[in-house]
Amino acid sequence: MKFIRKRATPLQINDITIIDDAKLKKAITAAALGNAMEWFDFGVYGFVAYALGQVFFPGASPGIQMIAALATFSVPFIVRPLGGLFFGAMGDKFGRQKVLSITIIIMAVSTFCIGLIPSYASIGIWAPILLLLAKLAQGFSVGGEYSGAAIFVAEYSPDRKRGFMGSWLDFGSIAGFVMGAGVVVFISSMVGEQDFLDWGWRIPFFLAAPLGLIGLYLRHALEETPAFQQHVDKMEADDRNAIQNPPKMSFREIASTQWKSLLVCVGLVIATNVTYYMLLTYMPSYLSHNLHYSEDHGVLIIIAVMIGMLFVQPVMGLMSDRLGRRPFVIGGSIGLLVLAIPCFKLINSDVIGLIFVGLLILAVLLNAFTGVMASTLPAMFPTHIRYSALAISFNISVLVAGATPTLAAWLVEATNNLYMPAYYLMVVSVIGLVTGLFMKETANMPLKGATPAASDRSEAKELLQEQYDNIEQRVEDIDSQIKELEKKRQRLIDQHPKLD
């Protein structure tokens, strides 16, 4: 284990944070529900893109309608870094809990408003403009949502369980996708295709209101994270004025001191989210528009794949606490590089069983990334800049990844090559592989700038002993280095006539 802050006295058992199990469960539930709502909207949007294309861009060809609807999905990613900059600074100054309560309100309201927008036939060009404005508001709020939720869970989790606990955050993402897809299929099957195009597509967006209220209630009831509270207490002990006016760091200062961590964060987020958007946002449109399956048929296949992902997700997180985070990033990247083309051969086989297998393989490879991302990213930065650094770097990366559905659709249309998405994933897998090779292992270690966190006092004693063992080993290593240096010194002295 490593600690950034130097201690004037030896670490004692009372210095180790004991995490309250009930509070931990509430924190994970609140964070995962907000994330589920975010991805519920993304999932719904991807699954009804064909309908939105006809409602908001009726004069274009089917292919252009699809690209235009997916472009409206991608444009909000432009404002996500601004949201990350704004909410990241707020989160480091005022705390994680307050910011997460704000972001879920904005997400719920903007998603609900999409369902209220009249069609192009009713108000003309204002229809796509209003759609874009609602998506921009979503993008701004989401800029602080995932990174804040990941930090919230990481700062609440015991060191030895951070991978397992963090995996539930993306479990919420996948569950949101499943729920969004299920709602779309249920409504379209109940009302019929024409009524779904006329008004049925609006219903899933209206569901954001009750989900947002539940999420807000859960988040508002939570206490601040132990790690951030430690940071506040230390600032208060050192300088009471620092609580009211905490020192600020610009992104340039953060980049100059944390550039290695920032690069690793960017690489991991790009590899994860490109795969995410390719599989869960673009593939429903790919199956219906390019492979000519009915919309419901394609969505049902994706739903089955996502349900499989739900079972795999926490297993990946649990195993990462045993084996480390790096093996999953490296293994997932290699798998994506080697298996992307075979998977798309299966998807294009026109055999339902083989299509499912191809998508399932891609889904498990995606689980390798999502199973460790929420526990890996917050561990890269110290407490006082964690929200700012992670939110900015995360959303700059997502700005690149968010273009995936639009670029994939355009590449297939432009080249008439159904394997372009596979080539796209192969390029991204190289980024993931390089990231995995250069990232530092963070499993079972305290967060930077924080004391160790344990589930109970017995585990705290084990952590304390591990810390002492680690110090003893480092002292022995330094002693060995000193002996080697003394030997080298003596050899140099022996070569000089005037030195003794």
- Give pLDDT tens digits for 279-331: 877 887 788 878 877 766 766 787 888 899 999 999 999 999 999 999 999 99
More confident residue, 478 or 194: 478
Q: How far is the C-alpha of 364 from the C-alpha of 370, rounded, in Å? A: 10
DSSP 420-444: HHHHHHHHHHHHHHHHHHHSPP-TT
User: pTM of whole model > 0.75?
Assistant: yes
Residue 453 φ then ψ, to 5°: -125, 135
Phi-psi region of 192 (alpha: psi -120 to 50; beta: other; left: phi over 0): left
pLDDT at 236: 64
Tokens of 242: 């620092």
Would you say how long the chain is, in residues?
A: 500
Q: How far is the C-alpha of 40 from the C-alpha of 375, rounded, in Å? A: 22
Token look-up 């704004």 returns 86
Tokens of 161: 């369980």
DSSP 435-486: HHHHSPP-TT-PPTTS--EESSHHHHHHHHHHHHHHHHHHHHHHHHHHHHHH
User: Which neighbouring-strand residues pair with 453?
Assistant: 17
Mean pLDDT of 232-254: 63
Determine the Cα angle at 46 with ends 83 and 33, to 5°: 55
Longest dimension (CA), the chain: 98
- Give pLDDT tens digits for 384-440: 888 888 888 888 888 888 788 888 988 998 999 999 999 999 999 999 999 999 999
At 344, is the pLDDT very low, low, confident or very high (cuts 50, 70, 90)? very high
Closest CA to 167 of 59, 285, 66, 32: 32
